[in-house]
Structure 1
Amino acid sequence: MLVDTHCHLDAPEFDQDRAEVVKRARIAGVTRQVVPATIAAGWPGLRDVCASGDGLHAAYGLHPMFLDAHRREHIADLKQWIEREKPVAVGECGLDFYIPDPDREEQAWYFDAQLKLARDFDLPVIVHARRAVDQVISAIRRIGNLRGVVHSFPGSQQQADILWENGFMLGFGGPVTYERAKRLRRIVATMPLEWLLLETDAPDQPDAAHRGKRNEPARITHVLETIAQLRDISADELAAATSSNAERLFGLPPAPQHC
């Protein structure tokens, strides 16, 4: 009974076979998926995708890599979507200083605004942090009274410690399956289990066995097996713990019985 806590199932890469992708996920034991948004124009389609089957849970937000698609008034629109649609989280939002010539001030404005919405609605926040973990931590501390996940965690042990001390879980996916990812593998091997989440970030970030191919939720089993081996525990124990973590953070209902 696995939860993919970060899967862009609404992405156009899945338009031709979305139902089959979900079916393969369910066969693999992935009973629930959290589907985070990227731009306001995508919210209606994401809502429709999540309404198409059991175990699909929407989050709405504005991704830092798509500033050209965002408008300041989208924050007011997001507030209305949260009030009406009752998502499981705010996101995907955050900071990305890896992209060429990032507009740091504009990214920070949207990030802070979404953190405040998450705080005011008492929702978890799904955070993107690329070459910006310290700045993300600073914003989380400044806004306060927050909880959430830094997805595809890219940071150091010290940053990990600070994040879970501030109520944030860490999401791990395909990158941890690569043997060269020494720092990530050390972190997942020793971190407190109650702060760990599994994800795919599908269609992106495939595991080592599927490098260069479209990722999909069923492949979270490779992430599960890798982390279980690194922690020297059974895959079943890790699945139960991370699913419980996801239920606690996102307020997810129990897995659909037919799964």
Structure 2
Amino acid sequence: MWIDTHCHLDAHEFGARALDVADDARSQGVGMIVIPAIDRGNLDTVAQLAAQRDNTCYALGIHPICVPNAAEDDLAVLRAKVEAAMADPRFIGIGEIGLDFFIPLLNEAAMRDKQILFFREQLRIARDFGLPVLTHVRKSQDQVLKHVRQITPNGGIAHAFNGSFQQAQGYIDAGFKLGFGGNLTFTRALQIRRLATELPLSAIVMETDAPDIAPAWVHPGVNTPDQVPRIGAVLAQLRGIPVDDVREVTTANACAILPRMAGLPGAASGASCNK
């Protein structure tokens, strides 16, 4: 089976079709979809959505793009939700969290400071509960790494990785995997394709970031988690290896970095995530 380690299945682009989208992915061999939260308003939504299918699980967190409208009290709410969710086997980590210095508003000094405050507190939550994190990293690779080294979670995934080889090694040394998806299907995405080709396969997990980052054959349309196998086939072609190797290794990588997910059934095969 394949695993989509990052998919916003609750996004408005899917609407009432969200569960159908999950079923379509299962029919294409996607045995597990990770649904990250983005703010206080959808913490319950992602949990409720994940409960309705056996190929879905979820993470809880506050996205850096949502930080401008967040209150510091939201962090206390998140901590309480995480504590309660530890009893739910479909809860697998903290995310989507991180730093975004690409958007001009978010790169202003006061907002950078607020993002850092939220990121560090969410790293503490992950550390305190022994959980991995799903990190959003735009124009902030070194800063995210700095905070991860200071407040160490139980590993994690650098979502949509697009840094340097040195930064990639920094994440690997910190116990992270690197997420790759639709971007690598574009022939003009030379750096991402080089990273996807030359980094150790043991460091890579598959993702879609659906409904965003659509692969070349879908762009500019809405991305969906059923695209993971075809994206994986492109990765296999770039690396010159069998697609089965990409599927098996990236699935094992995802299970290793998201250990709470490893016991969940893969809906496509009825097998555990470890197989």
TM-score band by shorter chain is over 0.9
Per the normalisation by structure 1, the TM-score is: 0.96
Number of residue-to-residue matches in the alignment: 259
Q: Does 1:94 pair with 2:102?
A: no
Q: CA deviation at 1:258?
A: 4.4
The 5 Å alignment of 1:23-172 reads: 23-86=23-86, 87-102=91-106, 103-144=111-152, 146-172=154-180
Q: Is the 8 A contact 2:176 2:257 kept in 1?
A: no
Per the normalisation by structure 2, the TM-score is: 0.91
Unaligned runs of 5+ in 2: none
Distance 1:22 1:145 in 2: 29
Counterpart residue type for residue 248 of structure 2: A
Q: CA deviation at 1:46?
A: 1.1
Q: CA deviation at 1:52?
A: 0.9
Counterpart residue type for residue 185 of structure 1: R
Q: Is the 8 A contact 2:64 2:100 kept in 1?
A: yes
Distance 1:222 1:182 in 2: 19
SS state of the match for residue 140, structure 1?
A: helix
Distance 1:45 1:148 in 2: 22
Q: CA deviation at 1:239?
A: 0.4
Distance 1:89 1:56 in 2: 13
Q: Which residue of 216, 220, 236 maps to 1:208? A: 216
Q: Is the 8 A contact 2:36 2:60 kept in 1?
A: yes
* Cα distance change, pair 107–235 in 1 and its aligned pair in 2 (3 A): same
Q: Which residue of 169, 184, 187 maps to 1:179? A: 187
Counterpart residue type for residue 16 of structure 1: A
Distance 1:73 1:122 in 2: 22
Deviates more, 1:20-29 or 1:124-133: 20-29
**Could you report, residue by residue, the CA deviation over 1:194-239 in whole angstroms, capped at 9, with x for unpaired residues?**
2110000000110011111010000112220111111111111110
- Map of 2:2 onto structure 1: 2
Distance 1:145 1:221 in 2: 29
Distance 1:237 1:185 in 2: 18
Counterpart residue type for residue 80 of structure 1: A
Counterpart residue type for residue 237 of structure 1: D
Distance 1:213 1:238 in 2: 25
Q: CA deviation at 1:49?
A: 0.6
Q: CA deviation at 1:172?
A: 0.5
- Map of 2:266 onto structure 1: 255
CA RMSD of aligned residues (A): 1.3
Distance 1:235 1:116 in 2: 38
